[in-house]
Amino acid sequence: MRAMILAAGRGERMRPLTDHTPKPLLQVGGKPLIVWHIERLARAGISDLVINTSWLGDQIQQTLGDGSRYGARISYSPESTALETAGGIAQALPFFQDQPFLVINGDVWCDWDPAQAELVAAGLSEDAQAWLLLVDNPPQHPDGDFRLHASGLVADKNAGAGAATFTFAGIGIYRPDLFKDIGEQQAAPLAPLLRQAMAAQHVFGMHHPGQWIDVGTPDRLGQLDKALRC
């Protein structure tokens, strides 16, 4: 399986830290946030990676290089202007050779083991377009994003009731056809695509009860740094 790390965002909530340093290169626990992802993926046997870049993207390429020092093979998908999540994934689709692939947001930290990704992809039904890792709702997002049913189906949180709501971890497995209607260089968010697929019951997922943090603010960056150094 191949994987993508999303690293093109401007990191507005992280300013002024991100005025001169791209958010994926901010240090936590003694190394850049994105390196935690790369090393975890490589240990899981997922070594072919693509990273999309935009804001200060040259710094990311210069720091990470070809990935060999981390046991990975890194390719890059530069965006002259950020294409948002779905647009960035769509631009990188050729890298995945028409196979299911793993995507991880560069601004999260999670102890989920990506070695599970191969098994998840192998177990997806033929009509599944996406599989999402869901976590407990954090204090800054108490209402969550989606509902997870006992069958494994994921639905929008506003689509009925009867199932607990969770927050999307920013980690998912996707089939390329989810992005087939996104044009070349088209900026597009991921959430509307997912909700459309959910309405057709094409999205599945699981709840991860372990550690996860959205490293979206300097305060949460500091919290994670402290925790990783303990």
Mean pLDDT of the chain: 93
Residue pair 101/125 in contact by the 8 Å Cβ criterion: no
> pLDDT tens digits, residue range 104-160?
999 999 999 999 999 999 999 889 999 999 999 999 899 999 999 999 999 999 887
Q: Coil, helix or strand for 34? A: helix
Q: What's the angle, vertex CA 108, arms to CA 177 and CA 48, rounded to 5?
A: 50
> pLDDT tens digits, residue range 58-85?
999 999 999 999 999 999 999 988 899 9
pTM over 0.75: yes
Mean pLDDT across 191-215? 96
SS3 percent helix, strand, coil of the chain, rounded to 5, is 35, 25, 40
CA dihedral sign of residues 149, 155, 160, 166 = positive
Verify cis geometry, omega within 30 degrees of 0, for the bond prior to 16: yes
For residues 21 and 15, give the distance between their C-alpha atoms in angstroms, rounded to a whole number: 10
Q: Can you state the angle between helices 33-43 and 57-64, rounded to 10 degrees?
A: 50
Structure tokens at 229: 């150094």
